[in-house]
Amino acid sequence: MARRTARAPLVLTDEQRSMLRELAGSRTAPQREVERAKVLLAYAGGKSPTEIQRLFGISRPAIYKCIDKALAAGPAAGLKDRYHRPYAPQISEAAKAWVIDLACRKPKDLGLAAELWTLSALAGYVAAHATAAGFERLARAGKSTVWRILDAHELKPHRVRYYLERRDAQFERKMEEVLMVYRDVELYRADAVHDARPVPIYTVSVDEKPGVQALSTTAPDLPPVPGKHASVGREHEYVRHGTLSILAALDLHTGEVIANVEERHRSREFIGLLQRLHEHYPADALIRVVLDNHSAHISKETMAWLAAHPGRFEYVHTPKHGSWLNLVESAFSKMARTFLRHIRVASRDELRQRILQGIDEMNAHPVRFQWKKFDFPMV
């Protein structure tokens, strides 16, 4: 039998040696990798394959393969099995590309009713149309084969990932205008404004919270019972009585909420809120309103009412898809977390009364919502 030729020594860096030692002492790594790490450490330490065989009880062919791979491609290669394909692939790259193309298209665009693929539907479509497309092998492909093709390209056509398209070309400028208003409010409260300011300015943040449901229970709630029931018991069934909308203005100087509760939120309801603001603040003051571009805010009726009160209101619009810039949303969030949470009423009238009562309770202890972070230089 021919003798094996002598092998070159294996030189390890400190990082490689540390990695191999950690792997050799691991209890969770695959056993074959642990054994190969021990082999490489021993060989790098000067031991011969014969000594390594006696030390670890590993066959000599396995030791030689491990050492040869490490000498050829590094210690990391010596730890892994060498990939080999026993036969040529039956599904060509062109066939896989065809499946990927189908997965990236919507089923409705291919004459089906569905909006998105399921794995079963895609596999069925592939099998039904593979022969006509020239990929005979895919006519027998099942869900697992299609899944492997998709997984290799990290595709999940059955899922929807939502995103927000920025449709406002002036988003940054409008955002800066809103933040400048918030900074001006802080300066105004700190008496840091110039004495020459002609009229006092009151800044309010305005928006609507539509669709507040008037729900009633079909049976009385069961109160908590110490030692038996820790929470309120409530019947699953409920009765709908309709919805109401909260039209609110948050005074950014004091935290007071001025609100109307309406069945709808059209232009006439919004004008009603503006009328309340007009009556609430001093006649010689300018009311600066931070609000979005809802149709009721800029309708012909609203513009006509504002024209009848010249110099009284000033609009500062938030950018499209920038409702998070409007501080009144924080007041709505507080409502949702307090008196609107799990609310049950017998009618819409009771819901209106409860909402107004909750707003009065908030105004009894007003909270000034402030914008803390300004990401652009202030001059």
Instruction: Detail the DSSP E strand segments found in the chain.
Output: 201-217, 238-251, 257-262, 286-291, 313-317
pLDDT tens-digit profile, the chain (379 residues): 444 556 788 888 899 999 999 999 999 989 989 999 999 999 998 899 989 999 999 998 999 989 988 888 888 888 888 766 667 778 899 999 999 999 999 999 999 999 999 999 999 999 999 999 999 999 998 999 999 999 999 999 999 998 777 677 888 888 888 999 998 888 877 765 555 566 788 999 999 999 999 999 999 988 989 988 889 889 999 999 999 999 999 999 999 999 999 999 999 999 999 999 999 999 999 999 999 989 999 999 999 999 999 999 999 999 988 888 899 999 999 999 999 999 999 999 999 999 999 999 999 999 988 887 766 544 3
- Report yes or no on 1 lying in a domain: no
Q: Of 79, 104, 123, which one is at a domain's C-terminal end?
A: 79
Residue 123's domain spans which residues? 93-152
Q: What HEC string does 50-98 produce?
A: HHHHHHHCCCHHHHHHHHHHHHHHCHHHHHCCCCCCCCCCCCCHHHHHH
Among 114, 92, 94, which Cα is nearest to 105's?
A: 114
CA–CA gap between residue 262 and residue 248 (Å, rounded): 11
Predicted TM-score (pTM) of this structure: 0.62
The answer to whether the CB of 292 falls within 8 A of the CB of 323 is yes
Separation between Cα atoms, residue 282 and residue 201, nearest integer Å:
10
3-state secondary structure 253-297: CCCCEEEEEECCCCHHHHHHHHHHHHHHCCCCCEEEEEECCCHHH
Based on the fold, state whether residues 46 and 103 are members of the same structural domain. no
- Count up the domains in the chain and report the number: 3
- The answer to whether position 373 is within a domain reads no
pLDDT of residue 197: 60
**Is the domain of 39 the same as that of 182?**
no
**Is 345 part of a structural domain of the chain?**
yes
Half-sphere exposure of 361 (CA within 13 A, CB side): 11
- Confidence (pLDDT) at 379: 38
Q: Please report the pLDDT score of residue 144 as a whole number.
A: 94
299 with 177, same domain: the answer is yes
Task: For residue 256, tell me if it sits in a domain.
Answer: yes
Looking at 122, 152, 182, the residue that finishes a domain is 152
User: Which pLDDT value is given to residue 192?
Assistant: 58
CATH number of the structural domain spanning residue 180: 3.30.420.10
pLDDT of residue 167: 73
In a domain, 291, yes or no: yes
pLDDT of 195 reads 54
What is the model's pLDDT at position 124?
95
Q: What is the pLDDT of residue 194?
A: 58
